[in-house]
Structure 1
Amino acid sequence: MDNINPPDDHPATTQDPDTPYDHHPAGGWGSLQGIARIAADSHTSAVAAKILATLNKPGGVMCSSCAWAKPKDPGTFEFCENGAKATMWELDRNRAGAKFFADHSVTELQGWHDHDLEKSGRLSEPLRYDRDQDRYLPVSWDDAFAEIGKELAAMAPQKAVFYASGHAGLEASYLYALFARAMGHQNLPQSSNMCHETTSVNLQTFIGTPVGTCTLEDFEHCDTIFFFGQNTGSNSPRFLHILKAAVERGCRIVTFNPVRERGLIEFADPQSPGQMTITKPTQISEKYYQVRPGGDIAVMTGLMKCVLEAEDAAPGTVLDQTFIAQETTGFDETVALVRNASWTEIEAHSGLTEGMIREAAEIYLSADNAIGIYGMGLTQHVNGWLNLGMLCNLLLMRGNIGKLGAGISPVRGHSNVQGQRTVGVGEKSAQMPADKLKDLFGIDAPTQEGLNAVHACEGILDGRVEAMISLGGNLVRALPDSARMEAAWPRLRLTVHVATKLNRSHLAPGQVSYILPCLGRTDRDVQASGPQAVSMEDTFSHIYASLGGAEPPSPDVLSELAIVAGLAKATLPANPRLDWDGWVANYDQVRDLIAQTYPDDFADFNGRMMQPGGFYRGNPARERNWKTESGKAQFTPPTTLSALGEDPGGDPVLTLITLRSNDQFNTTIYGFSDRLRGLKGSREVVLINRAEMARLGLSEGQKVSLITAIEPDVVRRVMDFSVTPYDLPDGCVAGYYPELNPLVPLSYHEKNSQTPAYKGTPVRIVA
């Protein structure tokens, strides 16, 4: 099914057949072929099949890809294409050890593609950069810990930054946060700074929780789901099974997204022999609207106008008046601005017609229980806070937060990105209570708030930051302004990377630089007390245990927890209450500490961690317990109809949206096929619709540069990108993350959380 709304031939609702797109459903044979290709490329052993058979099941490995839930009663195959790729990528039998680094200088490796760097294999021994030889050389763990500890101990604590990706489990993350605060700082940026920090900061203000309110159970009872800026097919494919079941019982799904993503159009279940061979794919979205980038505020303003009109026509039957009066604040001010917004303005900002928005509103009004789903298409904007505020408004109007089958639900990307925040990885004092640090460890917690990712980068540029410790991730590549940041990174005194595979960040070594190889999620972790489990939190606030089953890549690879403990021991003065050796020997002890630090969330942590379906740590907003300043849920007045920043002026200015391909997870590039968008080959492409190509005098395949249209004092440019016609709204271009990250200024971000505006940066095309 290529046209999701056959009766309506408006370009915002129908596929442009003259541009690339995938003619097949998400899932299906394409998914199986994608898995088979990565299996061949990664040279995985027979153990991969064994681990995939237990992936996301009790007693098995919890997927290191997305943060989607692991059901209590899992299916035969409880993994998706992305999860299989991530698992097999980690189980690669190739090794990047001493011989590899002896054969390749850092300067040579800088010329390699990101895909080829990771494809070199698993890191197998600790490495220290030798500047004279321009190579990473083997080093003993004792020497590595000793020198890193000496460097950190010699500098003022505030000059060090401890970054964490979403890979590390709760145990290592807790000790990492403890290490930083024991050292005397809270510079704990994390990968959510680049994606969902807009959620963490602003949902807390609106409804008193930093995370979404839904659980898997809600999808069994919702009547409608409204999607905004989320690409389920590529970013969380297991969600498609939930959506398929919801549609088949009568749930109506409406999607707003500038890009027509196949996963939200139709899906063929790879585990259904009938749907793979005979029956039709499942249509997921009943309506699919290609909203302009930044136009979601206007869309939701229009939807709210329709709800108010319905209430005016039948007073007391549409709005949840009791809920609004008892549970919320700010309704009257918000409603006044919504009523004053004109349909002309709404259409101009959204790129949709009044009729389309009214059509979507009818579906919302027909539902007793509605869920709002969103992704980074909403969070990565200058006015991302208002995007979320308006989605909360729409749901609050009809009491759709805090009841079964309803709620607001961001879909997290990385597997434990949410959990790391829960156990203290964050720059705010509230994220690890000072009284607990004092009682448990005798530590006087630092009072100065720490640096998030943007502030840490500003510190690198101006020299305030001297050390960057990275617990996983590929930060240099993931950051905005990445060309400037990569050039600044070598000025750091110390860079330390805890990693499973080689990546771009390792090739910008500081004056003293180490790569410390760690166990992956799939690896067996055996310590003094025996085999160890780690744990993580999903997007629905459920906690799961994970047990690796593969032989580690080498005896010289340590667990993330052991590496954190080794660094801490070498850096900090002796403190008998910081039992690093005991915690490494038995991870149960760390979980006991987590339970003591966060008793409301983690009571009886060790007793519940193997529970099928995980254990729920709760959410106050789900119980209509609003942990806000007013004690109520907050309506947010729409002070603008656009999520974009100020128009830089001049012509022509286009809005850049960055995308991840079907063959990619964050900065990891598995290959060069973007199957679900009908694209393959080079990632250096500029996607643009044919009307805009004609307006700008561009031709298909033409090589162009993109330049940033703001902050003219700094030239930000990418070159030799191929013009590729694609079905997009007017006024925008799209391309791949992280290749286009150099165009996004470090200062161009969501105003409250500093989340980079990857989905709304103004650019110009230069032939």
Structure 2
Amino acid sequence: METKNNKLQTIEEAIGPVDFTGLKLTAPSQYAAGVPAVKIALEHAMKEMGLAKSIATLSKLNQKEGIDCPGCAWPDPDKRSNLGEFCENGVKAIAEEATNKRVTPAFFEQYSVKEMSEWSDFKIGKSGRITHPMVLRKGTSHYVPIEWDEAFELIGHHLHLLDDPNQAVFYTSGRSSNEAAFLYGLFARKLGTNNMPDCSNMCHESSGAGLFQTLGIGKGSVTLEDFQYADVVMVIGQNPGTNHPRMLTALEKCRQQGGKVVSINPLKEAALVRFKNPQEVKGIVGNGAAISDHYLQVKINQDVALLKYIMKRLVELDREEAGVIDWDFIKANTNGAGELLKDLDSYSKNDLITQTGLSLDEVEPIVKLLAERKKVIICWAMGLTQHKNGVDNIRECVNLLLLKGSIGIKGGGTCPVRGHSNVQGDRTVGITHHVSPKLNASFERTFNFKPPTKEGLDVVHCIKSMYEGEAKVFMALGGNFLSAASDTNYTAKALQNCELTVSVSTKLNRTHLITGKTSLILPTLGRTEKDESDGQSRFVTVENSMGRVHRSLGRIDPASEHLMSEPEIVSRIAKSYFKDDFSIPWNRLGTDYDFTRSKIAEVFDGFKDYTERSKKAGFDLPNHARKGDFSKLPGGVAKFSINQLPDHDLKENEFLMMTIRSHDQYNTTIYGLDDRYRGIYNERRVVLIHQNDIEKLGLKANEVVDLISEYNGVERKAENFIIVPYDIPEGNLASYFPEANVLIPNDQFATLSNTPISKSVRVSILKKN
């Protein structure tokens, strides 16, 4: 076997090749879904799974006794469709997991780590399911097989070498089950650390921080049923057609019941214009349904300016005719309204509207609509959270809802739309770097040990700790950490500084190729696969974006007999580390999921009779904001907040760039090279820019440029991006992640939540020689 130091050699190993794949452009689509979506979904399924497996998985996908789709966290309706309770991108997610392709020991013998690291993320991901536990030993170039027992001993050995438990980092992806996440958090706490970063640190952490401060709970307050009763649904910084397409059905039903939909987003996304529901006749042969009654293409990160303008106008209208603002609700349930009014008075309406990039003719109809209607739902995603002022964005949404008295009523409330299918559940069952005395007391009462009281590291700070050589062991329960994180090259070097990196995974990804001195890949069962112990089927549970817990039961044979379930992997690592310490029954916790759920119920409120209640449609966890109860906050009332306008201090010829997904993508998983709805085919290295900006810079469509970001004297470059003229506000850019993640500084993140500024990066465009 060739011996070679597996350190980062070139930038391509961390970010992949910067070559082009052949750009083709068409006009953006005027609608989402319809027959093309069905056709493309089935093509993906057949190509990856074949006919028999496609039928076996899709017929059970999101059904009450079936498989929970790992594609997103949008809730399932109580009444499920007989035609199929899934969407195009859900099928793609399932096809990726249930693929017939395999990454065997022979595969790893054929390809070195360096060779694979020079592949694109698309090619890496399409390699197939990992079949055996694999190890990359220090100084070698190829992964080789390792027995499970030896792998667990190796992890235990490295953990015992640490001088301090806080030199270990335990990252969690939102695709993990409640059972696995609970055991993972239990192990970390028993080990002595709260270093439990998770994927929500990079996306919806700002939502949790903003909601907790203002309403006393870090989750949304609405249910799926609320959409049928809403007067107005505001969709802000969100592209449901790609990220959670089944949401379109809820928006369609809202409009059918007389509700109005207001979309606020820098890009005009096809799904928010028109939706062709493939389960309805008009979605097949007709024109489908319009989704947005109003569409505001606000400049990137000018949502606070827009919301302040709207609230300022609503207050003015209320002074003219009472009833626009719900003062009875405000007096009974909130504090800080007076300070908010003073803040609004300090701004000029003209300045606010100018900052948004919108016109009065566009915004005033929204003001009128909100003045007349009370039941308002505000939905959002990363377009609000991934900014320096991400928490302010969320708190300003809450301010508007509180002014209208739209919290705690049917048809009104907050709706952060999560991406990963169980990111909310992971947090509910204890994956958090924050210290909670109440939670620590519950763990101590249930398991008879004292959990650590030192605050743990979130994603950006665990990367910093690894980069500086302090953290030495990194373990990931799912996910593609390197490609998901900001500042790709910095993160790559951080991982390489570790003594050991461990990935619990189903498929190959770039994090397996940029590793610590020793690296382990532990292959696990996917959601689609049967999970059996002693001939008995086991199910796991998840929590959707609206707080409902339900089960997921795999239906197809595992990709390999050498796979192990996530709960069992975690418990076996714990058992290997603690050896003769039998105070926690790790073996039983890893194999008897009913027992694990009984322990979750002992630690956390709301899980009584957990196993039985999680069957069928599942059960809703307690949510006091949903009931208009704010007793958990100081004074027992909800809180208005004062939020500042963003100041990006753009220099001449600098732009504000947001990273976005293509339609052939789920987070860092690349299904294909087409962004069908935006009319961009067979290419990912593109930058979307307004035609006027192209002309100002003396550039041309299809010209190749580099993108540069500079923060605190550090210059970062993303090479080879093709100029694509697009309907985007002037001064703004959009590029796909993870390709553009190299531009996001590791030290620039949201105040309070520490979420990277992935949606508002200052960049300049460098013309190629």
TM-score by length of 2: 0.95
CA distance in 1, matches of 2:403, 2:521: 52
- Alignment partner, residue 253 of structure 2: 245
- Alignment partner, residue 387 of structure 2: 381
**Aligned ranges 1:144-159 → 2 under 5 Å:** 144-155=151-162, 156-159=164-167
Superposed displacement of residue 611, structure 1:
3.2
Q: Do structure 1's residue 193 and structure 2's residue 201 form an aligned pair?
A: yes
- Alignment partner, residue 173 of structure 1: 181
What do you get for the CA RMSD once the two structures are aligned? Answer: 1.4
SS of 1:429's equivalent?
coil
- Alignment partner, residue 701 of structure 1: 702
Residues 601 and 203 of structure 1, relative CA distance in 2, 3 Å threshold: same
CA distance in 1, matches of 2:638, 2:672: 45
Pick from 35, 56, 59 the counterpart of residue 62 of structure 2.
Answer: 56
- Alignment partner, residue 616 of structure 1: 620
Contact 1:42/1:119 (<8 A) preserved: no
The C-alpha deviation readout for 1:397-445, integer Å capped at 9, x for no partner, is: 0100011110010100000000000000111122971222222212111
CA distance in 2, matches of 1:354, 1:634: 30
Name the amino acid aligned to 1:621. Answer: A
- Alignment partner, residue 673 of structure 2: 672
- Alignment partner, residue 711 of structure 2: 710
SS of 1:433's equivalent?
helix
Q: Do structure 1's residue 163 and structure 2's residue 171 form an aligned pair?
A: yes
Pick from 294, 297, 300 the counterpart of residue 290 of structure 1.
Answer: 297
Q: Do structure 1's residue 236 and structure 2's residue 251 form an aligned pair?
A: no
- Alignment partner, residue 220 of structure 1: 228
Superposed displacement of residue 535, structure 1:
0.3
CA distance in 2, matches of 1:185, 1:44: 45
**Aligned ranges 1:280-679 → 2 under 5 Å:** 280-315=287-322, 317-430=323-436, 433-528=439-534, 530-598=536-604, 600-612=605-617, 614-626=618-630, 627-638=632-643, 640-642=644-646, 645-647=647-649, 649-679=650-680
SS of 2:582's equivalent?
coil
The C-alpha deviation readout for 1:256-304, integer Å capped at 9, x for no partner, is: 1000111111000111133211x32100001101000011011101110
CA distance in 2, matches of 1:751, 1:304: 24
Superposed displacement of residue 573, structure 1:
4.7
CA distance in 2, matches of 1:331, 1:188: 37
Residues 641 and 419 of structure 1, relative CA distance in 2, 3 Å threshold: same
Residues 132 and 480 of structure 1, relative CA distance in 2, 3 Å threshold: closer
Residues 579 and 482 of structure 1, relative CA distance in 2, 3 Å threshold: same
Pick from 106, 113, 116 the counterpart of residue 109 of structure 1.
Answer: 116
Contact 2:384/2:390 (<8 A) preserved: yes
Q: Do structure 1's residue 124 and structure 2's residue 128 form an aligned pair?
A: no
- Alignment partner, residue 3 of structure 1: none
TM-score by length of 1: 0.95
CA distance in 1, matches of 2:610, 2:27: 47
Superposed displacement of residue 621, structure 1:
1.0
Pick from 94, 97, 103 the counterpart of residue 90 of structure 1.
Answer: 97
The C-alpha deviation readout for 1:300-319, integer Å capped at 9, x for no partner, is: 0111012111111013x221
Contact 1:343/1:354 (<8 A) preserved: no
Task: Identify the range of structure 1 (517-526 vs 618-627) with the bigger mean alpha-carbon deviation.
Answer: 618-627
- Alignment partner, residue 210 of structure 2: 202
Task: Identify the range of structure 1 (126-135 vs 556-565) with the bigger mean alpha-carbon deviation.
Answer: 126-135
CA distance in 2, matches of 1:528, 1:192: 35
- Alignment partner, residue 264 of structure 2: 256
The C-alpha deviation readout for 1:45-88, integer Å capped at 9, x for no partner, is: 51221221111111100101100001211112100011111111
CA distance in 2, matches of 1:176, 1:215: 29
The C-alpha deviation readout for 1:691-743, integer Å capped at 9, x for no partner, is: 0101111111111111113222x221111111111110011111001110010
- Alignment partner, residue 15 of structure 2: none
- Alignment partner, residue 18 of structure 2: none
The C-alpha deviation readout for 1:189-235, integer Å capped at 9, x for no partner, is: 00001100001112100110101000011111111111110111001
CA distance in 2, matches of 1:23, 1:547: 36
Contact 2:152/2:576 (<8 A) preserved: yes
Task: Identify the range of structure 1 (173-182 vs 40-49) with the bigger mean alpha-carbon deviation.
Answer: 40-49
In the alignment, structure 1 segments of 5+ residues that lack a partner are: 1-18
SS of 2:718's equivalent?
strand
Task: Identify the range of structure 1 (624-633 vs 214-223) with the bigger mean alpha-carbon deviation.
Answer: 624-633
CA distance in 1, matches of 2:326, 2:171: 44
- Alignment partner, residue 7 of structure 2: none
Residues 609 and 261 of structure 1, relative CA distance in 2, 3 Å threshold: same
CA distance in 2, matches of 1:381, 1:431: 30
SS of 2:581's equivalent?
coil
Contact 2:137/2:517 (<8 A) preserved: no
- Alignment partner, residue 725 of structure 2: 725
Superposed displacement of residue 359, structure 1:
1.2
CA distance in 1, matches of 2:305, 2:289: 30
Contact 1:535/1:609 (<8 A) preserved: yes
- Alignment partner, residue 10 of structure 1: none
Name the amino acid aligned to 1:458. Answer: K
Name the amino acid aligned to 1:395. Answer: L
Residues 289 and 431 of structure 1, relative CA distance in 2, 3 Å threshold: farther
Q: Do structure 1's residue 100 and structure 2's residue 101 form an aligned pair?
A: no
Superposed displacement of residue 690, structure 1:
0.2
Name the amino acid aligned to 2:623. Answer: N
CA distance in 1, matches of 2:384, 2:39: 32
Residues 500 and 641 of structure 1, relative CA distance in 2, 3 Å threshold: same
Contact 1:379/1:388 (<8 A) preserved: yes
Superposed displacement of residue 585, structure 1:
2.6
Identical-residue share of aligned pairs (%): 36
- Alignment partner, residue 764 of structure 1: 764
CA distance in 2, matches of 1:249, 1:366: 17
The C-alpha deviation readout for 1:136-184, integer Å capped at 9, x for no partner, is: 0001001110111111122120000000001110001000000000000
Superposed displacement of residue 132, structure 1:
4.5
Name the amino acid aligned to 1:671. Answer: G
CA distance in 2, matches of 1:215, 1:369: 13
- Alignment partner, residue 137 of structure 1: 144
CA distance in 1, matches of 2:47, 2:717: 33
Contact 2:467/2:493 (<8 A) preserved: no
Name the amino acid aligned to 2:262. Answer: V
Name the amino acid aligned to 1:232. Answer: P
SS of 1:271's equivalent?
coil
Residues 319 and 24 of structure 1, relative CA distance in 2, 3 Å threshold: closer
CA distance in 1, matches of 2:602, 2:523: 30
Contact 2:275/2:283 (<8 A) preserved: no
Contact 1:425/1:431 (<8 A) preserved: no
Name the amino acid aligned to 1:695. Answer: K
Contact 2:173/2:477 (<8 A) preserved: yes
- Alignment partner, residue 19 of structure 2: none
SS of 1:602's equivalent?
coil
CA distance in 1, matches of 2:511, 2:222: 36
SS of 1:715's equivalent?
strand
In the alignment, structure 2 segments of 5+ residues that lack a partner are: 1-24
Contact 1:527/1:584 (<8 A) preserved: no
Task: Identify the range of structure 1 (621-630 vs 448-457) with the bigger mean alpha-carbon deviation.
Answer: 621-630
SS of 2:268's equivalent?
coil
Pick from 268, 275, 298 the counterpart of residue 283 of structure 2.
Answer: 275
SS of 1:555's equivalent?
coil
